[in-house]
Amino acid sequence: MKAGKVATIRLRPEDCMSVVDILERAKVNTTGMTFAAAVATAVGIAMATLRDNGVLPTRQGFEYTELMDQFVERPKVRSIKLPQQFSEIAVEGLSMTGARVTNANNSAPVSTELRQAQIRLNELEIKKTHASDSWSDADEEEYQKLTEIVFSAQ
């Protein structure tokens, strides 16, 4: 696991363009780089520049825990609609993962494939939220496929 924090953010368009400007100014090769990696690199360059110019203090690191303790961790939780026929054991299992589980009262019986897709989609959502540094292109492809299966059935 890498040191630091994972932050999922939305940038304004002008800030997106500034990310590109910073990388171009620093002559960073962006070939094959994801935008998330570009943002992380640009923020690192901007912070280093601010520290070098005395705008930000240069810290030794022992203050890290104290400084980070002021921020609340709020995991993103996805609500999944499950058919009434879904077993209580599976519902309890999903609830333990942090998902909010609700029953779709008017739904017809659901295939095993759809139930498995719902469960796997929930697992991937948790991974995307809590372990985004290990999120791969294969995970994204599976996530998109499962999203199509689950939400086209509703």
pLDDT at 62: 80
Tell me the C-alpha distance between 134 and 73, whole Å: 19
pLDDT at 102: 44
For helices 88-96 and 112-130, angle between their N-to-C axes, nearest 10 degrees: 10
Q: What is the pLDDT of residues 113-147, one digit of tens each?
A: 778 888 888 888 888 888 778 888 888 898 888 88
Q: What is the pLDDT of residues 12-33, one digit of tens each?
A: 999 999 999 999 999 999 999 9
Q: Which residues make Cβ contacts (< 8 Å) with residue 21, sequence separation at least 6?
A: none
**pLDDT above 50: residue 103:** no
pLDDT at 118: 83
Three-class secondary structure assignment of 102-153: EEECCCCCCCHHHHHHHHHHHHHHHHHHHCHHHCCHHHHHHHHHHHHHHHHC
